[in-house]
Amino acid sequence: MTSKQDWWRGSVTYQIYPRSFMDSDGDGIGDLKGITERLDHIAALGVDAIWLSPVFPSPMADMGYDVSDYCGIDPTFGTMDDFDAMLDRAHALGLKVIIDQVLSHASDQHPFFVESRQSRDNPKADWFVWADPKPDGTPPNNWLAIFGGASWEWDARRRQYYFHNFLREQPDWNFHNPEVQDYLLDCVRFWLDRGVDGFRLDTVNFYVHDKMLRDNAANPLPWAQQAVRPFEMQYTLFSKNQPENIAFLERLRALLDEYDERTMVGEVGDSHHSIDLMGEYTSGSKRLHMAYSFELLGPDFSPGHFRSRIEAFFKGAPDGWPCWAFSNHDVPRHVGRWLDHSEDQDELAKQAAALLLSFEGSICIYQGEELGQVDTVLTFEELTDPEGINFWPEKTGRDGCRTPMVWDRDAPNGGFSKANRTWLPIKPPQQARAVSTQGENSVLAFYKEMLALRRAEADLRDGKTVFLDFPEPVLGFRRGDDMVCIYNLSATPISVELPIDIRSVLDQAAAIEGRALHLGANGFVIGRVS
């Protein structure tokens, strides 16, 4: 069984996007008091922890992922007292609290960057990544920014370029400077001393860059040349994923190990080595506790894909630990991504919940998943996300999955806010799935049932996975000694022969007749060996 110190193994974390969870002061933007007001909803689900996307002071060029003060609270969300009250209430409800740490880059309004760009010889001159131009004035290499254009921005005062993996307003810290690492570790310690239970580490494989600034090669994957974002056309061999990253992760882990019952989960984003990096970064007891990637956040909804990702992780890192998610604030919601595999949105949402919550590893679910939500369709004029604005209409950005949570179908703004206008609009398809509409056989009721089953069954939290060989589109596996999970990942009914006798514990559109298992559209059975 999982120890108290290792509470994070097999845990389920609920991601809160603070701008969109609950608005307590009527300005149309969610805040910390609003989160505190709605924590009972999360506790009633039966999850172990909450994860808050950034609430630090920020100019909001990238909605808080451009941090100008790592040890404060942005007035948009409230005060430090509001944070402490939220933390205390969460702990009283038995919820751990994990907060985002955006350590790879800062805001260009961070005081240290403001100082750094003043000259080449000030005390913070080497705290960010600066480089001279080539003789023809062009950037020092071919690295590209995720949100478009070169990842280098010219600064006339220093007559140098600075590096940014994301927006030009998000300069990258220079992790080759030990003073930078010390400063960021001190910022992490600030929140540990305040009582947070852990950290979600944004873009954890982006921290260290190649000191020689060598050019990236072309991405050899077959889809790369058709990518909407030029960044994806490069094989980012030198702009991230550097071996020195491991040393910093070990310093982070040593810091967390000074405290009881703390954890950290790193976001690994990479088109080539995501699963390998997840394993490398969590292997042993001196690095990350958990890592998650975008491997399950795409369009693929097939037995082969899910099996290959889980098997590859545990084969490559038998002593590592993954955290799996189907949705988050950066990708389209999974029910919408996979609707082609179902004729019933609710049945698909329930099956996806059963599937994710039966995986070996830890789990993260994103606010609104428990309502079966899909993305909100927005016009260009309604967008706030720089990715959507820059790549419209081929890539509509991340606002569609970030629209406010809906609590009451009959209240203005779905009960999210009393404002005349919310920061992103709430539209009828989303309001129709408000918490108030979720009755006895709803998606929300199923989430509670499935989460209770995962808590009750040690095999579903801790048991090893052994995959069973079924024909497509059926995915099947054992968890531990007693549990068997089988899913029809299609809208077409199918029958299969069971390798062992089981009795159902939880199912949908399923019937067992001896060793014959009949699964309807998006049918599944989670059973116990009998």
Q: Round to whole Å and give the CA distance between 311 and 18.
A: 34
Q: Round to whole Å and give the CA distance between 304 and 285.
A: 30
Q: Where are the alpha helices (DSSP H) in 330-396?
A: 334-337, 345-356, 386-391
H/E element, 517: strand 516-529
Q: Round to whole Å and give the CA distance between 235 and 233.
A: 7
Question: Do the beta carbons of residue 325 and residue 367 sit within 8 Å?
Answer: no
Instruction: Encode burial over 280-318: b for 16+ CB neighbours within 10 A, e otherwise.
Output: bbbbeeebbbbbbbbbbbeeebebebbbebbebbbeebe
Cα-based torsion angle of the residue sequence 339, 341, 345, 348 in order, rounded to the nearest 10 degrees: -120
Three-state SS annotation for 10-42: CCEEEEECHHHCCCCCCCCCCCHHHHHHCHHHH
DSSP string, 109-177: TSHHHHHHTT-SSSTTTTSB-EEPPPTTS--SS--B-TTSSBSEEEETTTTEEEE-SS-TTSPBB-TTS
- Half-sphere exposure in the Cβ direction for 144 (13 Å, CA): 16
| Amino acid (1-letter code) at residue 327 | S
Structure tokens at 8: 């994070």
User: Given strand 130-131, what is the order of strands in its sheet?
Assistant: 130-131, 160-163, 152-155
Q: Are strands 130-131 and 160-163 parallel, antiparallel or unpaired?
A: antiparallel
Question: Do the beta carbons of residue 502 and residue 527 sit within 8 Å?
Answer: yes
Q: Round to whole Å and give the CA distance between 352 and 489.
A: 9
- Whether 202 is catalytic: yes
Which entry of 62, 153, 197, 202 is annotated as an active-site residue? Answer: 202
Collapsing DSSP to helix, strand or coil, 343 comes out as coil
With tokens 């809208």, the residue in question is 491
Q: How far is CA 110 from CA 221, 494, 517, in A?
A: 37, 57, 59
Q: Round to whole Å and give the CA distance between 133 and 161.
A: 7
DSSP string, 202-215: TTGGGS---TT-PP
Q: Are strands 362-366 and 465-468 parallel, antiparallel or unpaired?
A: unpaired
- Whether 462 is catalytic: no
Which entry of 136, 258, 381, 394 is annotated as an active-site residue? Answer: 258
For 341, residues 6+ apart whose C-beta sits below 8 A from its C-beta are 301, 348, 473, 489, 490, 491, 522
Collapsing DSSP to helix, strand or coil, 519 comes out as strand
Neighbours of 344 (CB within 10 A): 14
Q: How far is CA 312 from CA 203, 279, 281, in A?
A: 21, 9, 15
Which residues are known catalytic residues?
A: 202, 258
